[in-house]
Homo-oligomer: A and B are copies of this chain.
Amino acid sequence: MSILVVGSIALDSVATPFGKAEEALGGSAVHFSASASFFSKIHLVGVVGDDFPEKEIEFLKVRGVDCSGIKIEKGKTFRWKGEYGFDLNVAQTIETHLNVFSDFAPQIPGALREKEFLFLANIHPKLQLDVLQQVKRPKLVALDTMNFWIQGELEALKKVISKVDLMIINEGEARELTKEASLLKAARLIQSWGPAVVVIKRGEYGALLLHKNDIFSAPGLPLESVKDPTGAGDSFAGGFMGYLARKNSLDLETMKQAVIVGSAMASFNVEDFSCRRLKNLTMAEINQRINEFKKLSHFEWKHSDNF
C-alpha cells in the first residue's frame, strides 16, 4: 500500500548544545517521508520556493519518495530557525519565515487521489479539510496538528478531527486540546470526537497508543547522545504509518508493532541534525533497534507468578 502525505517542506537552522545545522532539509512532510520510505511507497505533496537546493530533493528521490507533488513557486522556501537548551524537549523558535508556504493551498494531482493511506501533517486545519475533499476516502486517514491551531483554529480543527481515523498528537497538546489533566481522559475524549485510534507522543518518554479500548505504551529508548530532536514526531509518524501501509493491517497487534517501528525511526532521527542519520541508515540497523525496544520493555510474568 502507498501513502500520500501533505505537509511542510522547510530549510531549518537549528542549534543545540551538541552542534548546529544551517539551512538543512526539514519540514513535517520531509521528516515523515524520509522515515516512512523505509517501509512503503510515499507520495509527497508540498511547496518549495525557487531557491530550494535541488540536491536536497535528491535525498528523497534516492529513498524512492515520489516528489511529483512538490510544487515550486516563485519566491523563497519556508525557513525555520530554532534553538534547544539541555532540555531537548523544548524548542525555542528564533525566526519563522513562511515565505511560499504562507499561500500553500494543496492541489492533489489526479494520479495521487486514490492512495490507501493519507497523512495530514501539521498544516492549517482548513487545508487539511480541503485535502480530504480532493481525495477518494482512503482506508486510513491520520492527522497531526500543533498548539498554534488548537489556540487559533479550534473549530476547524475539531471538524477535521471528526473526519479522520487516527490522531497523532503531543502529550501537552492533547491536554491543551481537551482541557483534561489525565492523559487517559484526554485521549478518550479525542476518541469520542471521531478517531478510533489516538497516538500520544511523549518525547523521550515514548508513546501511548489508544486503539479502541486497548492501551499500549512504548518506551523511549534511553540514548547516550541526542543531537537534534527536530522532526522526531514526524519521523515517528512516518515509521508508524509506513509500517501499517506495508502490513496493510489496522489490527491492535500491527498497531503496537507500528508504534515500535515509529519509535525506532524517531530514535535514529534525533541522533543527528536534519535527516542526516537516515541517509545511511540500513534495514539491519532498524531490525536491531526494534529488538532493543523489545529487550527494553519485555518482562516475564506467567500465570504461576501471580501471588
Chain B residues within 8 Å of A259, by CB: 299
The answer to whether A61 has its CB under 8 Å from any CB of chain B is no
The answer to whether A59 has its CB under 8 Å from any CB of chain B is no
A183 touches B215 (CB 8 A): no
Contact count band on A? 35 or more
Copies of this subunit = 2
Chain B residues within 8 Å of A184, by CB: 222-224
Tell me the nearest residue of chain B to A252, going by C-beta.
B299
Chain B residues within 8 Å of A291, by CB: 301, 306
> Given A205-B205, A216-B299, A217-B297, A185 and B257 touching (CB < 8 A)?
no
The answer to whether A298 has its CB under 8 Å from any CB of chain B is yes
Which stretch, A75-83, A143-151, A282-290, touches the partner chain B?
A282-290
Our pick among B217, B226, B283 for the contact of A296 (Cβ within 8 Å) is B217
The answer to whether A92 has its CB under 8 Å from any CB of chain B is no
Interface membership of chain A positions 268-307, coded 1 if the CB is closer than 8 angstroms to chain B and 0 otherwise:
0000000000000001001100110011111111000111
The answer to whether A202 has its CB under 8 Å from any CB of chain B is yes
Chain B residues within 8 Å of A204, by CB: 183
Tell me the nearest residue of chain B to A221, going by C-beta.
B217
A205 touches B208 (CB 8 A): no
> Nearest Cβ distance between residue A186 and chain B, in whole angstroms?
10
Chain B residues within 8 Å of A220, by CB: 217
Chain B residues within 8 Å of A185, by CB: 224
A297 touches B300 (CB 8 A): no
A222 touches B215 (CB 8 A): yes
B307 touches A286 (CB 8 A): yes
Our pick among B17, B214, B287 for the contact of A181 (Cβ within 8 Å) is B17
> Nearest Cβ distance between residue A86 and chain B, in whole angstroms?
4
The answer to whether A260 has its CB under 8 Å from any CB of chain B is yes
The answer to whether A253 has its CB under 8 Å from any CB of chain B is yes
Could you list 8 further interchain pairs (A-B, Cβ under 8 angstroms) beyond the known A185-B224, A218-B299, A283-B307? A182-B223, A182-B224, A182-B225, A184-B223, A219-B297, A256-B300, A257-B299, A297-B297
